[in-house]
Structure 1
Amino acid sequence: MVFMFRRHKYQWLISGLIILVSFAIGIAIYSTQSETRRTGISSQTIQSQYQLWKKFYLRGDKTQKFVKTNNGTKDQTLSEAQGYGMLITVMAAQQGFDNQRVFNQLTNYYLNHRISSQDSLMAWRQKQQGNKMVSTKAEKTSATDGDLDIAYALILADKHWGSKGKINYHILAMRLLDDIYSQEINVKTGLPKLGDWTKGRNNNVVRTSDLISVYFREFASYTKDGKWTKTMQNSQYTLQKLSNQNRTGLMPDFIMISGNDLNLKAVKANQVASKYDAQYAFNACRIPWRVAYDYQMNHSRISKNVVAKIDRFFETQKKITAIYTLNGRPVENYENEAFCAPVVYSAEVLGNQVLKKRYKKVLINPIVDKDYYPTTIQMLTLLAIGNMNNKTR
């Protein structure tokens, strides 16, 4: 009888384990199905895309890694790319797709390519010379967009892993934010400059996609310093004012600011980077992503209105092509993920069913190699959607 009792007890335990395992599997399936219903994109899809992105674009060794930006045999990278890479890996880690080691490798590369040991801003470009990545003297200046992304990624890392490991993310973030504010924020306007190198009239030029309100809110909270709140408020004001300047809501890559009331106008062609400086081109195309991310994280009414207007314009277009005049005339005929992905992401955040239905496959098109900029923006927006899934789960 004792033997029979033990047998029944173990049978009961096994049956209980089977029920628990089945229940857990059911929850996992329901969770995945819920994600897919919300955005049409599962975590498995995002993870698969991330693995492809890593394979195609991460270079380096066991100590440090960088994001390859060119298609030549000799590697090249940018501080912009390093910021993207650090953002991508920490967001992937938040979703369980990667670990701290990869983020630290990217952080080590940033640390080894700062302008100097006393200046935390990153040199804007490095090229391969032999087995080393090297910046020329002219390249040892900064690009604000890259530094902003690196700082935000360090804060996310500190929040996710803490700063008691091999790298103290908190100290690095605080030092970088001090240098960003002292060298890359215009004292008069409180807005981001193009970098630490600006002089004369270019000192009052703003890259519109650097008006990243969500970052400035986070910087203010993280540092407990109200000066970042002023930058956030002025960024919101500038975005709203630019949005109101035309029926499309489109903004130029670069604007000139003058006067105490922040008078805004597009720069002239070729004033900063290219003949498209005064158009909605390869810098401004990031605005729907940057602004929608602020709405996703903070439910800013201004951010919602700004990006909703841009989305309404794209509803009227048969397809999203690369580069537009501010009144909405397509300049090029080809499509590009750098323009499509931010709009599709913003449609997901704001629930624009027209754009979601029309472009439902844009973000899950297989990650391709040898096309760094559009593909990396696709990866960033896809991971932002993954975080949206996690937040609402």
Structure 2
Amino acid sequence: MMFKRHKYQWLIGGLIILVSFAIGFAIYSTSVKESTTGISSETVKSQYKIWEKAYLRGNNTQKFVKTNNGTKAQTLSEAQGYGMLITVMAAQQGFGNQKTFNQLTNYYLSHRISADNPLMAWRQTQTANKMVSTKAEKTSATDGDLDIAYSLILADKKWGSKGKIDYQKLAVDLIQGISKYEINSETSLPKVGDWATGKNQNVVRTSDLISAYFREFASYTKDGSWTKTMQNSQKTLKKLSEQHQTGLMADFVEVSGSNLDVATTKANQIASKHDNQYGFNACRIPWRVAYDYQLNHSQVSKTVGTKLNHFFEKQKKITAIYTLNGKRVENYENTAFSAPVVYSAEVLNNQVLKNRYKKVLTTPIPSGDYYPATIQMLVLLAGGSDK
């Protein structure tokens, strides 16, 4: 009997060792969890810390994302949306914190267009110790508002809305404001801002066709008009993708009528001489469509993203700005163009691009180049996202 008791003790001891090993391995696996991009959470965390130190400015109450390298700080609603999105996605993945998100949210609240208009003024510049918008700058840029609204939804899902800030109310109010001021009533597509009237009311910033957001807005608010915006965004992306063998789209296009007729904008019509080319706005499209596929398995988003990947697969390097026929406009490389392609390649499993550009996302975040650094940070975090 004594022998049998020792035998069982040995078996139990072995089981304890196996269970302990399994638990330890699970903890280890969690600590080195890889994202969709195959990059460890520790690497993403390290990049986030670099980005946060380089670009977040402000005080204990409000923070903003500094977009320039001058002594007088400047920021944009685009940057504020990015900062809020980065912070809450970092928190979802075990780093980043609610206090920082709240500071960024407070800055947004202080720079809404008016008490009755929840859209954010598109630019502020440091004057003495204050960040100030001119009268002309108290208009909106739709891309910033879309990211702010989506980040508030993520914050509500992460922390709830019973604390100091009611994320849910702010999200719903902003989404309603976007619907009222920034959605074209005829096409159901996003305008470029609340100021876009007359000849510019049909202009669409192609990178604003963020199907993943519109699906979420519809679900979150129970407002079916956002489903129409999502569907028309998908139709427009498909049309634009099919226009050129490259799959490239211009920074801005004109879309009109119930049939969503597409026309080309002119250079300098909205923002720059590259308005009718694949420039610093359209470079975000591979990220936006891949994100929709990652979360929702949209076949349209997959088709659009795959075609873009095939174009970039044929290029010796990814440079900044292309004509829609695929001719390089510039010869320099820029992470704002390459990082979205790398993320898309990972999501859509383009092995050629994955192998060729595997170091793009892990190159240390630069400290003096806001836009490409922030796009790099966003796609790193998107790779670890889920619903």
TM-score, length of structure 2 as denominator length: 0.94
What SS is found at the alignment partner of 2:384? helix
What SS is found at the alignment partner of 1:89? helix
Q: 1:166, 1:206 → 2: CA distance?
A: 36
- What does 1:368-387 correspond to in 2, within 5 Å? 368-387=366-385
Match of 1:98 in 2: 96
Bigger Cα displacement from structure 2, 22-31 vs 81-90: 22-31
Match of 1:79 in 2: 77
What SS is found at the alignment partner of 1:133? strand
Match of 2:119 in 1: 121
Counterpart code for 1:177:
I
Q: 1:182, 1:40 → 2: CA distance?
A: 40
Q: 1:265 Cα shift? A: 1.9
Q: 1:213 Cα shift? A: 0.4
CA contact (8 A) 1:46 1:386 kept: no
Q: 1:263 Cα shift? A: 1.2
What SS is found at the alignment partner of 1:174? helix
Counterpart code for 2:118:
S
Residues 1:33 and 1:79: Cα distance change in structure 2 (over 3 Å): closer
Counterpart code for 1:76:
Q
What SS is found at the alignment partner of 1:127? strand
Match of 2:214 in 1: 216
Q: 1:22 Cα shift? A: 4.9
Counterpart code for 2:175:
L
Q: 1:257 Cα shift? A: 1.8
Match of 2:134 in 1: 136
- What does 1:35-74 correspond to in 2, within 5 Å? 35=34, 39-74=37-72
Q: 1:101, 1:244 → 2: CA distance?
A: 45
- What does 1:328-347 correspond to in 2, within 5 Å? 328-347=326-345
- The answer to whether 1:357 aligns with 2:327 is no
Bigger Cα displacement from structure 2, 298-307 vs 253-262: 253-262
Q: 1:16, 1:60 → 2: CA distance?
A: 54
CA contact (8 A) 2:313 2:353 kept: yes
Residues 1:59 and 1:35: Cα distance change in structure 2 (over 3 Å): same
CA contact (8 A) 2:186 2:257 kept: no
Q: 1:256 Cα shift? A: 1.0
Residues 1:201 and 1:51: Cα distance change in structure 2 (over 3 Å): same
CA contact (8 A) 1:282 1:323 kept: yes
Residues 1:197 and 1:16: Cα distance change in structure 2 (over 3 Å): same
Of residues 273, 289, 292, the one that matches 1:291 is 289
Q: 1:172, 1:14 → 2: CA distance?
A: 55
Q: 1:23 Cα shift? A: 4.1
Residue by residue, what CA displacement relative to the aligned partner does 1:157-195 show, whole Å, maximum 9, x if unpaired? 001110000000000011101110000000011000010
Residue by residue, what CA displacement relative to the aligned partner does 1:190-249 show, whole Å, maximum 9, x if unpaired? 000010101211011000000000000000000001000000000000000000001010
Match of 1:202 in 2: 200
CA contact (8 A) 2:187 2:257 kept: no
What SS is found at the alignment partner of 2:227? helix
CA contact (8 A) 2:32 2:42 kept: no
Give me the identity figure in percent: 70
Q: 1:20 Cα shift? A: 6.5
Q: 1:96, 1:17 → 2: CA distance?
A: 29
Q: 2:356, 2:198 → 1: CA distance?
A: 45
Residue by residue, what CA displacement relative to the aligned partner does 1:70-123 show, whole Å, maximum 9, x if unpaired? 000110000000000000000000001121111000000000000011110000
Q: 1:259 Cα shift? A: 3.5
Q: 1:372 Cα shift? A: 0.2
- Paired positions, count: 377
Match of 2:301 in 1: 303
Match of 1:6 in 2: none
- The answer to whether 1:110 aligns with 2:108 is yes
Residues 1:14 and 1:61: Cα distance change in structure 2 (over 3 Å): farther
Counterpart code for 1:337:
T
Match of 1:3 in 2: none
Match of 2:249 in 1: 251
Counterpart code for 1:29:
Y
Match of 1:170 in 2: 168
What SS is found at the alignment partner of 2:218? helix
- The answer to whether 1:28 aligns with 2:36 is no
Q: 1:34, 1:134 → 2: CA distance?
A: 42
Counterpart code for 1:194:
V
Q: 2:94, 2:14 → 1: CA distance?
A: 31
What SS is found at the alignment partner of 1:230? helix
Unaligned runs of 5+ in 2: 1-8
CA contact (8 A) 1:213 1:235 kept: yes
Residue by residue, what CA displacement relative to the aligned partner does 1:15-66 show, whole Å, maximum 9, x if unpaired? 9998766544322333456627x64310000000000000000000110100
Q: 2:322, 2:61 → 1: CA distance?
A: 42
Residue by residue, what CA displacement relative to the aligned partner does 1:333-367 show, whole Å, maximum 9, x if unpaired? 00000000000000010111110000000001001
Residues 1:278 and 1:42: Cα distance change in structure 2 (over 3 Å): same
- The answer to whether 1:265 aligns with 2:267 is no
Q: 2:116, 2:17 → 1: CA distance?
A: 60
Measured on the aligned residues, the alpha-carbon RMSD in Å equals 1.9
Q: 1:16, 1:354 → 2: CA distance?
A: 45
Counterpart code for 1:27:
A
What SS is found at the alignment partner of 1:329? coil
Q: 1:206, 1:336 → 2: CA distance?
A: 24
